């Protein structure tokens, strides 16, 4: 009988019976450690005609501007996660208005779910992951200092939605090949 000190845990890469992909499996008990993509949730938050951006206080891309967004937590809905991230990063309480976009970024194993939202009450300030939080008019957005391509996509898709009224959910832009996703 194996003792806890002799158990290796998931440590062998193999294709489990009934599967078609290589997985990390425990050779002692057969437990399969599935490696799945991370889900990022966030929102384009507006107040009137201004958009809320956060200057990152953490790596990657410390000092660059981003949307309030981050990893979805276990047992959390995507909408609740987007609202939580706005509060954590900008101390902002938001109301979600609808789904803006879903971005597939396989190079880094992420799926990003981005909502349209508005400030539900006045007031915001930097949370622990933000150096600064500001509302920007469209022509004030620091396009060259955005942290990630997906922030640019989200803002562009929000602008498209605002101009056209087309509420269809957007996706990863055409031509956004893995080699062009630097900074993610």
Domain ranges (residues) in the chain: 38-167
* 25-31 average pLDDT score: 91
Does 3 score more than 60 pLDDT? no
> 3.30.420.40, 3.30.10.20, 1.50.40.10, 3.90.79.10: which CATH number matches 38-167?
3.90.79.10
Does 5 score more than 80 pLDDT? no
Does 24 score more than 70 pLDDT? yes
Looking at per-residue pLDDT, the higher value among 30 and 138 belongs to 138
DSSP string for the chain: ---TTT---S-EEE--TT-SS-EEE-TTT--EE----EEEEEEEEEETTEEEEEEESSSSSTTSEE-SEEEPPTT--HHHHHHHHHHHHH---EEEEEEEEEEEEGGGTEEEEEEEEEESSS-----TTEEEEEEE-GGG--GGGBS-HHHHHHHHHHHHHHHH---PPEESPTT--GGG-TT-
**Residue-level pLDDT at 175:** 80
**Residue-level pLDDT at 48:** 96
Q: Per residue in 153-179, pLDDT tens?
A: 999 999 999 999 999 999 999 887 544
* 43-51 average pLDDT score: 98
Report residue 60's pLDDT band, with 50, 70 and 90 as the boundaries: very high
- Percentage above 90 pLDDT, the chain: 84
Report residue 4's pLDDT band, with 50, 70 and 90 as the boundaries: low
Query: The pTM is what?
Result: 0.87
Looking at per-residue pLDDT, the higher value among 33 and 175 belongs to 33
CB 90 within 8 A of CB 124: yes
CB 129 within 8 A of CB 56: yes
Does 76 score more than 80 pLDDT? yes
The total number of residues shown for the chain amounts to: 184
Q: Per residue in 101-128, pLDDT tens?
A: 999 999 999 999 999 999 999 999 999 9
**Residue-level pLDDT at 182:** 38
């Amino acid at each position: 009988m194996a003792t806890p000190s002799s158990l290796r845990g998931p440590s062998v890469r193999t294709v489990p019976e009934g599967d078609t992909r290589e997985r990390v499996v425990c050779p002692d008990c057969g437990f399969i450690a599935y490696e799945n993509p991370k889900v990022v949730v966030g929102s384009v938050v507006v107040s009137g005609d201004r958009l809320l951006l956060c200057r990152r206080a953490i790596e990657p891309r410390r000092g660059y501007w981003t949307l309030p967004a981050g990893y979805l937590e276990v047992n959390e809905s995507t909408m609740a996660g987007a609202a939580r991230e706005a509060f954590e990063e900008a101390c902002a309480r938001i109301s979600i208005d609808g789904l803006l976009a879903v971005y597939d970024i396989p190079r880094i194993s992420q799926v990003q779910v981005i909502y349209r939202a508005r400030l539900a009450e006045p007031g915001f300030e930097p949370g622990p992951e933000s150096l600064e939080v500001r509302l920007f008019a469209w022509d004030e957005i620091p396009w060259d200092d955005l942290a990630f391509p997906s922030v640019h996509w989200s803002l562009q898709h929000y602008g498209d939605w605002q101009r056209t009224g087309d509420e269809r959910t957007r996706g990863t832009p055409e031509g956004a090949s893995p080699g062009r996703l630097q900074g993610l």
